[in-house]
Amino acid sequence: MRQDGPITRRALGALALAAMPLGAIAAPSPPSPSNHLQARPRAAADLIADPRTPGLRHLGLDRQRDAVLFTPKGLDYSKPVPLIVSMHGFGGSAFDGLGWYQRAAGEHGFLLLSPPSRGETWNVDLGPIGPDAAFIDRALDWVFARFPIDPAHLAISGMSDGGSYALCMGLQNGELFSDVLAFSPLRLNAPDAQGRARFFISTGRADELALLANTERMVSQLKGLGYDVLLDIHDKGHVVTRRGVDASLTRFLG
């Protein structure tokens, strides 16, 4: 499980984001193909032959900041499998994004994809039209071309800045993602929301970055627009808790 730790010079960037306005959320609208993710799960007959070897593998999409896929042992590919797209916090890497769900992937039977941000952190303001979104689209298309993915169990998740971007992408691509699993998100920005993803948001009473009052306002905004939101509050700081991971998986897979 990843913990961002005490406030450092690096964490000050995330703290600045936390102090920014929550951003806009629009009521869900019809799809706008040019502004949203285009990758979609494929039928079994359309998949590329792949050995599907268990373990970690780079996708080969970028030499410096490549996406990583974790494939647990024993997955049954005779039927569609769940997928979680998990995103790191400020200054992290693809491997940081795997941390809190990798242990559970084999136990619960799902694939885990971690695409790193194009810069030091995720650009929430650019949302679905920026380089982060374009890379996520490429990584998803790579997975969709090789694995039978269950569209009813397709989640986007993240911690801290990654949690903020998960909220953004989940709102703006709610016809693709069934669930959004956000841990200690700092803010959200989704002026072109669509679909009806479900939301799990976890935060701590002692969190100095993702303040509880800020999170509660985000939850209120989402619920006010009719979204299904479950808020998990723990007593710790800016961390992903084991309880939060288990609760998010119960919601996602249940």
Nearest-5° Cα angle at 41, 37 to 43: 150
Which residue has 């970690």 as its token pair?
A: 56
How many Cβ atoms are within 10 Å of 253's Cβ, its own excluded?
A: 15
DSSP code at position 49: P
pLDDT of residue 28: 52
Supply the pLDDT for residue 10.
Answer: 38
* Of 169, 194, 187, 184, nearest in space to 84 by CA: 169
* Position 135, amino acid: F
Given this model, what pLDDT does residue 192 score?
73
pLDDT score at 132: 94
Tokens of 81: 């499998």
In the prediction, which pLDDT does 254 show?
87
- Phi, then psi, of 82 in degrees rounded to 5: -70, 155
Domains of the chain, earliest start first: 58-253 (3.40.50.1820)
pLDDT along the chain (254 residues), means of 10: 37 37 51 73 96 96 96 96 97 91 95 96 83 96 98 97 95 95 91 88 96 95 94 97 97 94
Q: What is the pLDDT of residue 194?
A: 83
Q: Which among 167, 150, 180, 163 is positioned nearest to 248, based on CA atoms?
A: 180
